[in-house]
Structure 1
């Protein structure tokens, strides 16, 4: 289970309150990063849960020229495909704000070779962050979702991607379909890693992720252990999966 002392768990009464709180946390992380480093680097997630967050961020008054956007994972489809995480984020948020085009780094998916595109995205990250060999860059804000099987990003149970420790980006696999995904060590390097989880269908996974008995290969979200701890934002339905009694101080 998450065990680092800086981990935060918040259970919000409903989905609307969850999104409002996620907005506050996201904006605060962006403002802190800009105050400290004069830029904010974000890794975004896909799925239905963060879309209303993105729609809310589209109305925010932020210094967009100092914000740089990456994606923690992507389906291996063209960027204009309805399943594309980048397309969803653009429609809900990025196309609505004056963020410079050169500040947005979608995952490449056009080589007809997932491994080649994963390597290309890794080089994009290394070039942007000017990393040294063997170094993992620290993104300022990493947004994570969680599936009802406990996966996060495109790190699915019992897949090879879970054990990749020498790369920033690798190829994930979901029911035979390739995905491109950040690796566990890259996510763990994030300065602020936020899980946004909603729905009663997540209760079983939450119970296992916060259990000392479950294994990270069964529930990959358990593998995310950033040095600064995670910040979990759950709606009341998902929060029913937390151990009872639950005391965040026990983490």
Structure 2
């Protein structure tokens, strides 16, 4: 079921995202004793991560993964891992073994993708033909409609394993696949900015090409939340934005 909320501005968007994320984390821990959370990169979620860092949570019961990563060293300014560590993970007492970064140290990105896939299979104790079920997967969306590192008209969109090599302008990325994302208990898009309006209109349109706007592929078995600021989602049709 898709739930869409349009918040008045970016601070309100971050506040709502924080409330919902913490509620889902707390619920997962209460139900299963642990929470598995996959993070998104980009600039939009940084204040969300900073806000989560200020919460009092049972960090030893929270395991953090990444939905995608640029193929750069972990100390590179473009690293999603580095951003999340600086904004959140380095500020709380989370055990090192609870942090599960995507490896970017292989000569071949495909090797790194296989390594992370094997890590997920081991951690979640699933067989090769099975999919892990994350409690929460946080996603953003680019102005071209991509999410994670699933870019328009790229081979990663067709991948049926857990992890794939994405590609943006000949730069490799490591990314969750569409099927892995869609097995999550909760997927939460957090989207801000007027530059997202055209793509959002296509993502929410009754008929559009999924390969042109990859966020359309995200239809999880569990909950799907779209949290938008007014700049991004204010012009969506009322009937669409009222879905619940």
The TM-score range, normalised by the shorter chain, is over 0.9
Q: Secondary structure of 2:232's match?
A: helix
The answer for the alignment partner of 1:53 in structure 2 is 48
Q: Could you say if the C-alpha distance between residues 31 and 157 of structure 1 is closer, same or farther in structure 2, counting changes exceeding 3 Å?
A: same
Q: Which of 70, 75, 87 is 2:70 aligned to?
A: 75
The answer for the alignment partner of 2:127 in structure 1 is 132
Distance of 2:15 and 2:57 partners within structure 1 = 17
Q: Which of 172, 187, 193 is 1:193 aligned to?
A: 187
Query: 2:6·2:234 contact (CA, 8 Å) conserved in 1?
Result: no
Moved over 4 A (4+): none
Q: Secondary structure of 2:100's match?
A: coil
Unaligned ranges ≥5, structure 1: 1-5
Question: What is the correspondence of 1:156-175 to structure 2 with a 5 Å cutoff?
Answer: 156-165=151-160, 167-175=161-169
Q: Secondary structure of 1:147's match?
A: coil
Cα deviation for residue 243 of structure 1 reads 2.8
Provide TM-score, normalisation by structure 1: 0.95
Distance of 1:164 and 1:138 partners within structure 2 = 17
Unaligned ranges ≥5, structure 2: none
The answer for the alignment partner of 2:17 in structure 1 is 22
Query: 1:9·1:233 contact (CA, 8 Å) conserved in 2?
Result: yes
- 2:236 aligned with 1:238: no
Query: 1:49·1:197 contact (CA, 8 Å) conserved in 2?
Result: yes
- 2:58 aligned with 1:63: yes
Provide TM-score, normalisation by structure 2: 0.98
Cα deviation for residue 170 of structure 1 reads 0.6
The answer for the alignment partner of 1:3 in structure 2 is none
Q: Kindly report the root-mean-square deviation, in angstroms, between the aligned alpha carbons of the 2 structures.
A: 1.1
Q: Which of 143, 149, 152 is 1:148 aligned to?
A: 143
